[in-house]
Amino acid sequence: MLELSAVDCWGILGISMKSELNMKYWLMKSEPDVYGITDLERDRITLWDGVRNYQARNYLKSMEVGDLAFFYHSNAKPPGIVGLMHIVEARVVDPTQFDPDSDYYDAKSSPDAPRWHTVRAEFVKKFPMISLEILRQTFTPEELAVVRQGNRLSVLPVEKEISDRIFNLISEQISNRTRSR
């Protein structure tokens, strides 16, 4: 099997990225009936609000402009990676924490000392799903945390080598679809 780097795969996917240096990779989950990849494709840019887990929040706070994130449909049949986005604004205060009418309101948070930060993400590409089943066949839980039984974090880091392998899976899916037409 031909192994491709992330940069090679970007070309296959029609993605133009300026630099891979210091770029980090992430996996970010959302339920498709709440906010799916088609919503992001329509909106182009979104505020990734409502994350209320401290570890996921810490991952969001460590993101930098230019990082890439795999968009993962969770609580779906089947769940899986369905697209790619990049971070266009980092360390944004999540405004939903201050809104008493929001499901994500946090009475202990204040504008002077916000507890929740997030990012703005921009749509890059939608592609054929890489299902959780395929991910489990390809990666160990140590390599890709989303395949770990019981993992509920909505934001996860992805090592560069693992992101390269995910890009290869995406390229294979696209090639298989192209050949089957």
Domain that holds residue 116: 6-173
Q: Is the pLDDT of residue 19 over 70?
A: no
Select from 62, 72, 73, 69 the least CA-distant residue to 86: 69
Q: At 162, which helix (H) or strand (E)?
A: helix 160-179
Where are the strands (E) in the chain, listed by range? 25-30, 45-47, 68-73, 80-93, 117-131, 155-158
* Residue 55 region by backbone torsions, left for phi larger than 0, else alpha for psi between -120 and 50, else beta: alpha
DSSP label of 102: S
Q: How far apart are CA 72 and CA 80, in angstroms?
A: 5
Q: pLDDT tens digit string along 29-71?
A: 999 999 999 999 999 999 999 999 999 999 999 999 999 999 9
Residue 35: the pLDDT is 98
* Residue 119 region by backbone torsions, left for phi larger than 0, else alpha for psi between -120 and 50, else beta: beta
Q: What pTM was estimated for this model as a whole? A: 0.89
Q: How far apart are CA 124 and CA 54, in angstroms?
A: 27
Q: How far apart are CA 40 and CA 100, in angstroms?
A: 26
Domain annotation covers residue 180:
no
Q: How far apart are CA 6 and CA 14, in angstroms?
A: 12
Count structural domains, the chain.
1
Q: pLDDT tens digit string along 132-156?
A: 999 999 999 999 999 999 899 999 9
Domain annotation covers residue 88:
yes
Residue 2: the pLDDT is 45
Give me the CATH number covering residue 19.
3.10.590.10
Domain annotation covers residue 1:
no
